[in-house]
């Protein structure tokens, strides 16, 4: 079996047992996929990492650096240097980030939920009409249950994001700020254009380094 198949099988076994997939396994899946991409091409991760632990594991897997460990070693080195020569300064080289940049689509919780409601309403209205009234009522009830499940999932993800974002934001802005915030409280076309412009700007910066 390929590495991808092995990782997929392991994930499937965990899910069948009602268990969540560990951060280490998630990162292994991501890194395996990234390693399949030609070195001269780039890649984009959408919605990942979602926690600080995932960010730390992913960066170490992609760069070989453990930022927390290096920062700790740097503090110890500075303390040792000051004890010998208070005027000396010895900084530990900063490891490279695993990302060229990180983009946050900044939108309120209410706007996210409203957009989700609009999408679901549009999807329901576009369904083919049922000839039998009983079939139509049954389909509507089923759709209502599915919509509520989806709303619950979205609400759960929003709460998870709010819990984890402060530490992630600090990770993406220190010691080097690679975070780009984009106002997503606009129409879809304007947002897509803004994201496209930011991508082109960052790609040009990378090429000019």
pLDDT (mean) for 44-59: 96
Among 31-45, 56-70, 171-185, 190-204, name the one with the lowest average pLDDT: 56-70
Quote the crossing angle between the two packed helices 52-63 and 23-35, to the nearest 10°: 40
Q: Tell me the per-residue pLDDT of 67-125, one tens digit each, with 9 for 90 and over.
A: 877 777 766 666 655 566 665 555 556 667 889 999 999 999 999 888 888 887 777 77
Q: What is the pLDDT of residue 67?
A: 83
Could you give the CA distance from residue 94 to residue 116 in angstroms, rounded to a whole number? 41
Residues of the chain above pLDDT 70, percent? 80
- What residue segments make up the domains of the chain, in order of their start? 1-99, 100-209
Contact 27/45 with Cβ under 8 angstroms? no
Res. 21 pLDDT band, cuts 50 70 90: very high
Bigger pLDDT: 191 vs 129? 191
Among 14-28, 143-157, 177-191, name the one with the lowest average pLDDT: 143-157
End-to-end C-alpha distance for the chain, whole angstroms: 40
Q: What is the pLDDT of residue 61?
A: 95
Quick check: 132 pLDDT over 80? no
Q: What is the pLDDT of residue 66?
A: 86
Stated as kind and residue range, the H or E segment containing 10 is helix 3-16
What is the pLDDT of the chain when averaged over all its residues?
A: 85
Torsion-angle region of residue 108: left (phi > 0), alpha (psi -120 to 50) or beta?
A: beta
User: Phi/psi of residue 183, each to 5°?
Assistant: -70, 115
Q: Tell me the per-residue pLDDT of 24-35, one tens digit each, with 9 for 90 and over.
A: 999 999 999 999
For 85-189, list the strands marked E by DSSP: 102-106, 179-183
Token reading at 205: 């910066």
């Amino acid at each position: 079996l390929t590495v991808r198949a092995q990782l997929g099988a392991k994930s499937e076994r965990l899910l069948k047992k009602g268990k969540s997939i560990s951060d280490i396994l998630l990162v292994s899946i991501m890194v395996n996929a990234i390693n399949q991409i030609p070195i001269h091409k780039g890649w984009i991760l959408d919605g990942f990492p979602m926690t600080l632990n995932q960010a730390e594991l992913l960066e170490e897997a992609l760069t070989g650096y453990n930022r927390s460990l290096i920062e700790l070693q740097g503090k110890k080195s500075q303390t040792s240097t000051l004890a010998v020569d208070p005027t000396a300064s010895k900084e530990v080289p900063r490891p490279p980030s695993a990302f060229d940049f990180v983009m946050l689509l900044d939108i309120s919780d209410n706007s996210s939920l409203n957009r989700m409601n609009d999408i679901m309403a549009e999807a329901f209205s576009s369904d083919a009409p049922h000839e039998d009234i009983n079939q139509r009522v049954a389909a509507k009830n089923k759709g209502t249950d599915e919509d509520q499940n989806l709303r619950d999932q979205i609400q759960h993800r929003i709460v998870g994001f709010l819990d984890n974002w402060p530490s992630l934001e600090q990770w993406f802005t220190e010691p080097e700020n690679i975070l780009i915030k984009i106002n997503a409280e606009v129409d879809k076309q304007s947002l897509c254009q803004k994201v496209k412009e930011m991508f082109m700007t960052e790609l040009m910066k990378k090429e000019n380094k």
